[in-house]
Amino acid sequence: MKITIGDVAKEANVSKTTVSRIVNGNYAHTTEETKKKVLKTIKNLDYRPNALAKGLKSTTTNVLGIVLSNLKNPFWTTVLEGVEDTCRELGYNLMICNSNEELEIEAEYIREFRTRRVDGIVINPTVQNYDLYNNLIEENYPLVIVNRRIPSLEANYVVMDNVKGAYTGVEHLLNTGRKKIAVFVYQNSYVSNWQERVEGYRLALLRNGYSTSDFRILELEQRSERIKDCILDYLKNNPDIQAVFSTNNMITLEVLGAVNEMGLTIPDDLAIVSYDETLWAKYFNPPLTTIRQPGYKMGQLAVEGLIKSINEEKKLDPSTIVLEPELIIRESSDKLQQ
């Protein structure tokens, strides 16, 4: 049977208000004798106050919240592992929510976290609730933004160098002898990392002697059920494409489906480089060349930064941590056979 604050009050022969004050460290209106009696009763009954309920009376709950954008993406499993491990090591509990890229759902979760008095929030934002993010910053509410940048919002960020990652991947394809390289990306102007990867693609071509007329960019509707069909149409209408740089591992799965349906061979007919590294990338036939992102490190640093801002009495200047991607070369981008 769960022991309640009422059970403690009855056993110690004091009011529930007195027990609540002592549990929350407020001894101002309590005698030493009463304090000792209540603390002894708490120990004897093994009473464990609920962290959230306790937080209503104290300044902290030792609970953090995280809002992710798409839990279907394996990358976020890795980030979440870093977040959870670090919370556990530093004595915090975690509440996890998934916005599914819906700005209304994201706003609802943020408000719910505030209501539940979580100590701080880590968020991979939809980037469409600017006023809500800005209010958190202005109120000095502990917040760390991961993976995406929000234009003109000064906050604490942990992000990846997406331009460098894309540049490295596309330049690798150029070095294998491919000249006709396409980039596939979700159509969402709010998501900075996808746009940065396209920018890296452009830079790699331009710095290697190509012009803007050589850009081959396919934008895909993320929520569409016809992504594979769009890729099929594009590849059929552009049979000279020699390689695809996929900006997202979910897009990569659709590319592989389209290639299989067309009867193409990787890498002889079409080479592929994919963002991100996943557990299954090396098990494909052939194994996939990927851009690995240190997702675990992102989660770890986000929590450490969040807890640091929680514990600081004065407001800290906003900071941005940029993590480095890594190219993992496998057979899907072998050198072009002449």
- 48 versus 67: the higher-pLDDT residue is 67
Whether residue 55 lies inside any domain: the answer is no
Residue 187 — very low, low, confident or very high, per pLDDT cuts 50/70/90?
very high
Residue 54 has pLDDT above 70, yes or no: no
DSSP designation for 315:
P
Eight-state DSSP code of residue 119: S
Of 21-25, 50-54, 69-73, 125-129, give the range with the top mean pLDDT. Answer: 125-129
Residue 279 sits in the same domain as residue 307: no
Residue 284 CA from chain centroid, whole number: 25
- Domain membership of residue 42 as a residue range: 5-49
CA-based nearest residue to 230, from 190, 258, 191, 202: 258
What is the structure's pLDDT at 24?
61
Query: Does 113 map to a domain?
Result: yes
pLDDT over 70, % of the chain:
94
Domain count, the chain: 3
Same domain, 210 and 247: yes
The mean of the pLDDT values for the chain is 91
Claim to verify: residue 80 and residue 180 sit in the same structural domain: no
Written as six digits, the tokens of 24 are 């929350």
CATH code at position 133: 3.40.50.2300
Measured CA to CA in angstroms, residue 215 lies from 54, 199, 200, 241 at distances of 58, 11, 12, 11
Structure tokens at 111: 């408000």
132 plus 232 within the same structural domain: no
